[in-house]
Chain A
């Protein structure tokens, strides 16, 4: 019973990791851009949620109505004015620019909000639990977080494979030059992809901020968790990314249960094992 509980907790946290990973995977998939600032953007979203809840006096979940559009617009502008200029045959410029962006965001947040850790208060929902029977209880908030993660992945899957926007994403990823001949402006397609990615980042950031304390230095670790979930799941597969997040979450939960100091280590070990045994990930998308 104890182990069921541990694994369940891991699965629920894994949903959050999948959300970290989904935006990262989307950007890499569409424009081969590795966004080093992804984790810091998650923390930035958490702080925007903090300011929103404090100034407007609304709850964290309601604040999504503001944080998601703000982050999406930020993503569009970031891509349009900065990152589009770095894209080309060379992978290095976008890597360097997003690394610089990561440093800027961390230090900007440090200047404005100090290094003290803060947390979003969601009220009664934070302590509410659901009885799943046989003595297994799960928190309502983690359950909600997991449901949202599944919905986010499902929503991205729908956008990618059932809408005109998704067709444009896939066509541009396949061949940017030919996509232009279809009347698609690559710069605009990339900006829309970044907007979508940061909308997901916003949701992940709010749940991160409700779940535990956060501070300006937490971004890079979120980036690593996101990367690991993407690689475990296999590049280019959204449901694989969800599975990767869950595996990472469960591995961390098991590690933490054995010894509280092993939580992060256990996640990294699970990642390294997958990388050694199945370097293409568990559910890679077959590309021809």
Chain B
């Protein structure tokens, strides 16, 4: 495996009083795509939120780019080069499409992604850039949220269920752009319900079950039976 960019060691996470993660450990290499799969409530989103700083983590549980980032507030994590594509989209409704992209790049981190490059990647956003973000279709909104995260020129992109509620053809369209994003040097963590899609897009897969890592391995080596067992714990 390449040199790790992100190391999570023994991470516990809580939603209020309810513990969502129990000593989870994962690694993401530079330029690598890793998928995190699991049933609803397995703790996939809690893992991403902890990395992004939206849920409190132990200080030494998360190391990014050689420095501990556990417990940092979300804006400080963003400044270090972690961009989060939240579940359920979350474009800013008062902002136009282009303003959403600009605010994604407001930290002015240097890197390959600019408005022009984003519009090359998703030409439909260029056509609709002056519209309010609420005027976009579901698929276009997902493209815009992904683009907004890219505008931060992240070293690590966290994607929380980008296929949720989208037509299969739109999902394929969005997944087709991921190799281009990896080529520009970003690493990606994909949280996905769609196991087949996740196995295709990622080099390695972690399967969470009830807040613990139940299975891990190279995406192409995992069998359907192994994944089913890790998913449901049978």
Contacts and interface: CB of A to CB of B under 8 A. Distances in A.
A77 interface: no
B78 A167 contact: no
Given A167-B99, A180-B74, A182-B78, A288 B93 contact: yes
B220 to A, nearest CB: 32
Interface residues of B, number: 26
Nearest to A285: B94
Given A181-B74, A182-B152, A164 B102 contact: yes
Interface in A81-139: none
B103 A181 contact: no
B52 A167 contact: no
A148 interface: no
Contacts of B84: 181
Interface string A171-204: 1011101111111111000000000000000000
A177 to B, nearest CB: 6
Most buried by B among A178, A181, A287: A181
Contacts of A178: 86, 90, 92
Interface in A136-188: 164, 167-168, 170-171, 173-175, 177-186
B149 to A, nearest CB: 8
Most buried by A among B79, B94, B99, B102: B94
A102 to B, nearest CB: 30
B83 A175 contact: no
B106 A183 contact: yes
B38 interface: no
Size bin of chain A's contact surface: 20 to 34
Contact of A177 (B54, B79, B83, B107): B54
Interface string B101-118: 011101100000000000
A180 B73 contact: yes
Contact of A170 (B53, B54, B94): B94
Interface of A: 164, 167-168, 170-171, 173-175, 177-186, 287-288
13 contacts: A164-B106, A167-B106, A168-B106, A170-B95, A171-B92, A171-B103, A173-B94, A181-B74, A182-B78, A182-B103, A183-B107, A184-B103, A287-B94
Given A170-B94, A181-B75, A181-B78, 6 more contacts: A167-B102, A180-B54, A180-B73, A182-B152, A183-B107, A184-B75
Interface of B: 52-54, 73-75, 78-79, 83-84, 86, 90, 92-95, 99, 102-104, 106-107, 132, 134, 148, 152
A-B pairs, top 7 by smallest CB distance, nearest first, are A180-B74, A183-B78, A183-B107, A174-B92, A170-B94, A185-B75, A171-B92
